[in-house]
Structure 1
Amino acid sequence: MLAANLWEEASGLDPKAVHYTSEKAGRLCPDCVDATEWQEPPTLAGAANPNYDGGKETVTCDVCGAVFRRYPSNLGDGATLCSNECRAAWLSDEYAGSGHPNWDGGPTGSYGPGWQEVRRRALERDDHACVLCGTDAADLGRDPDVHHIVPVRRFLEHPVTTVADAHTLDNVVCLCPSCHRRAEASLTAAELRYRAGFG
């Protein structure tokens, strides 16, 4: 703006009124510039836009049944949800049990007879501490988890074994919650037995 003001003062001319000559077709002289109605940019909002697809659609929330409006581009192939609260409720239902990506079998039901006794003995044997990292009950504020090295469900899958067969001291170890998650996700039974000192 300062440069335009200096130019205007030096030349005594309005820079907007000066015509710059050109050989290009379509250029207008200063008189025509003042007399011409300039084309306004096209209105591309709503139905005037060539990509318009009808605007928002009326949809129903799959969780609470609320009716709301949403653009088609914001509607996916999954659930239609009206709020973060409904999204949280849907995720809780959808990713539980067999819908969870880490699902590895059905419910085992009650751990049956002998579980509480084996659990107590495992806690005593492992000094109420995680066998992998050493975190103890005092650090956790509770006893560590007692984890089945070979899962109970594996015993239920075979016709010759029962849930009680899973409850032996050589099949359980004490783990803190962090190591328990790691054991469930990535440690094999052999690796867990070795790291727990079972041979």
Structure 2
Amino acid sequence: MGEHECPTCGRTFESQRGAGIHHSKIHKEDGGKEKTECEICGAEFEYYPSDKKGLFCSECVETEEWRHRPDVDGSNNPRWKGGKREFECAVCGETFERYPSDAAGEVAVCSESCRCEWLSEAFTGDGHPNWRGGGNEAYGTGWAATRRAALERDDYACVLCGTDADDLGRNPDVHHIVPVRVFVEADGQDRADAHDLDNVASLCPGCHRRAEFGNVPRNRLRRAVGAR
């Protein structure tokens, strides 16, 4: 049952605004309207009273200046991931800031020149996805035996996708999980230490490329090798 009555015909409405609009349209009278000032621009205008919050003139309503615009900057954004973080360049050692999504991969580098330097070192010899063999002098003593043992352990198949020598038309690549250069640069270790059987995995060229670009976590490779 309505609580607001039209002063002319007695019809009741659930809101004062409804009664005012009815009175104006049906009885051609302006009964029910009140004058007030716009809360945004201060202009005076007439309106039908209602329970809604905010009193805005038609011009401000049209421009939507009355709407509340939520603050979605920085940490207030629902997609906020913490903003820029500080990284140490794997080549020159300089610290720099970057969004985590722009520093994904095995290494983080501060500039294009450092990226090129890292690539030139990482993709040399057996480290290159297109490696087809060649001299083993750069890898030192023990590499040939370790490579052969890894292929036998992995059944001459990629430990990630299962592509084998028959599919490839040649043996899979053998990838160092921790690169040889890390052992060379570490105190008290040398190239031969990199050739531990637990530190190598047989990979097809595609998976090898992904691993070299840092798109395959080292712990995943270790788990794949450990399952053999």
- TM-score class, shorter-chain normalisation, is 0.3 to 0.5
**Structure with a larger share of its residues in helix:** 1
* TM-score, normalised relative to structure 1: 0.46
Bigger proportion of residues as strand? 2
